[in-house]
Structure 1
Amino acid sequence: MSGNPSGGRAGAAPETILGEAADAAEAASNSKPLDVAARWGFAVMALLHVVIGAIVVALVLGAPGKAEPTGAIEQLAANPWGPAVMWSGCIGCAGLALWQLSEATLRARHLPRSEGLGKLVSSGFLAVAYGGVGYTFGSFAVGVSSDSSDSTAAFSRSLMDRPLGAPLLTALGLTVAGIGVYFVVKGLGKKFKEELRHFEGTHRGHLVSALGVTGHVAKGLALVLTGLLFVVAAATNDPGSSTGLDGSLKALLHHPFGPYLLLPIGAGFIAYGVFALIRARFGRM
């Protein structure tokens, strides 16, 4: 009598075992708890975009502020419910980062090679970004704050001190700018409708579409500016000039038409925040 006491698994090909493990992990990523955590993460990011947009508008009016996630989180931490908001934001962003990671790896494997590679880059970048925001929430929750502009500049200096530092910083800048272009194209092409069909064909759908276009384009332009600062920092050997989103937006204030560009960008961030809140509730995951 021949047979395998383990049910034949000992003779299974390694790629078959890995495939089954990936299928199991993908099934786990479709669980209700992760869905709820990811949606909560979208809501947290929506709130951050609204606050960042308000800070940008305030900058044009002469008020101080840091127009980036850390500045927005700092303002949220200052309210009486600060600690609870910080831990809640940390959990939500962690869930959203984990969901984006599953999009970049587990679900991207079912796509054609070119689409899968694009999904790996875009969702992978977002997973890192959301994870970073979650880490910032956690840092504020335990009483440790930081300035992201200083952190970005320090990171750029550290990278420039390494072999091939300038090309790597340039590649990073082009990647961030490329993500920005992706957001602009996604907004103008209304490709976000694939994620949100709940209001399709309704009067409210036109409003949601307008918010999506305005928000995606504004966020995309801001990311393009941020990426260009990395490229300029590498080209001029001045890593201190790469000060992230806050620095890229404040740099516009020194240009003649800068304030006229910042106002619609700030309004666009608010629009994106409202759209993201709708996405959190009704969007397809």
Structure 2
Amino acid sequence: MAKEDSGIQAAVGGAADAAEAASNSSWLDAVARSGFAVMALLHIVIGAIAIALVLGAPGQAEPTGAIEQLAANPWGPAVMWAACIACGGLSLWQLSEATLRGRHLPRRERLGKLISSGFLAIAYGSVGLSFAGFALGQRGDSGDSTRDFSTALVQSPFGIPAMVGLGLTIIGIGVYFIVKGCGRKFKEELHHFEGTHRGKLISVLGVTGHVAKGLALLLTGLLFVIAAATNNPSSSTGLDGSLKALRDHPFGPYLLLAIGAGFIAYGVFALVRARFGRM
């Protein structure tokens, strides 16, 4: 029996090693880098939309709105499918980070990698599905989708605690981005440029971009918590709604401008990540 168990473990370990070797292939790295570039472009477009909102222009300052902008060109369907493949590859790469390569880490670090990379794999995969939806002609308003999701969640068993938990999770992710930016922990993802003008510029972009994205996530998570506390799921409108809500406050437009500029900075940083990042 012990020999059979050891044989099964050896077979599983060998299969995992083979899968890890496949995940380290140059083609997957290339597709994942293109996925980082797509995400960079989305952040730049979202930042531009957020700034335009201050000037009274229409638009949705979130991934769906950015994808809609990218789809509005003669090569829209081809761009959508290419971006879908890129995001799918990036999702697969993050999944391999969470499972195959993460299994070599100490237990605590392995759990952290499973949570962080696993969440990113889901996030990038969902963006890839959004690109596929646009390529197939399926359009929708993200604010309406978020409100529908919130309404269904509230009406389900344990709906209010679940919505509070979701809001707090998003707030926690926002705090993570702020801490990562202020602590310059993003430098671990890049080849070193210390002591150069390029390194200083990358550091400024990284700090500004991570903090801005963190603030936007804090606002989004806060709307979920408020919706749960007031039992009003219609007030939960996602990233776009949280940014548009800033326009109604005295200093909101200035904060919206800062967040928009920060998203653009994060997008430029992500382009650097796509080119010079550690894979």
- SS of the aligned residue for 2:219 comes to helix
Change (3 A) 1:14 1:237: farther
What is the root-mean-square deviation in Å for CA atoms of aligned residues? 1.4
Change (3 A) 1:147 1:112: same
Is the contact made by 1:122 and 1:179 (CA closer than 8 Å) also made in structure 2?
Answer: no
Deviation, 1:11, is: 6.3
Regions of 4+ moved over 4 Å:
none
Deviation, 1:173, is: 1.2
Q: How does 1:1-285 map to 2 (within 5 A)?
A: 12-285=6-279
Letter in 2 for 1:64: P
Deviation, 1:275, is: 0.5
Paired with 2:179 and 2:170, the residues of 1 have a C-alpha distance of 14
Say which is worse superposed, 147-156 or 60-69, in terms of deviation: 147-156
| 1:28-48 CA-partner distances (Å, limit 9, x unpaired) | 111111111110000000000
Deviation, 1:113, is: 2.4
- SS of the aligned residue for 2:127 comes to helix
Paired with 1:84 and 1:257, the residues of 2 have a C-alpha distance of 41
| 1:209-267 CA-partner distances (Å, limit 9, x unpaired) | 10011001101111111111111111111112111110111111111111111111000
TM-score by length of 1: 0.93
Gaps of 5+ in 1: 1-8
Change (3 A) 1:168 1:18: farther
Paired with 2:5 and 2:168, the residues of 1 have a C-alpha distance of 47
Change (3 A) 1:284 1:235: same
Gaps of 5+ in 2: none
Is the contact made by 1:37 and 1:92 (CA closer than 8 Å) also made in structure 2?
Answer: yes
Say which is worse superposed, 168-177 or 210-219, in terms of deviation: 168-177
User: Identity over the aligned pairs, expressed in percent?
Assistant: 75
Count of residue correspondences: 277
| 1:151-199 CA-partner distances (Å, limit 9, x unpaired) | 1111111111211111111111111111111111111100111111242
Paired with 1:122 and 1:254, the residues of 2 have a C-alpha distance of 34
Letter in 1 for 2:58: P
Paired with 2:14 and 2:154, the residues of 1 have a C-alpha distance of 42
Paired with 1:167 and 1:107, the residues of 2 have a C-alpha distance of 34
TM-score by length of 2: 0.95
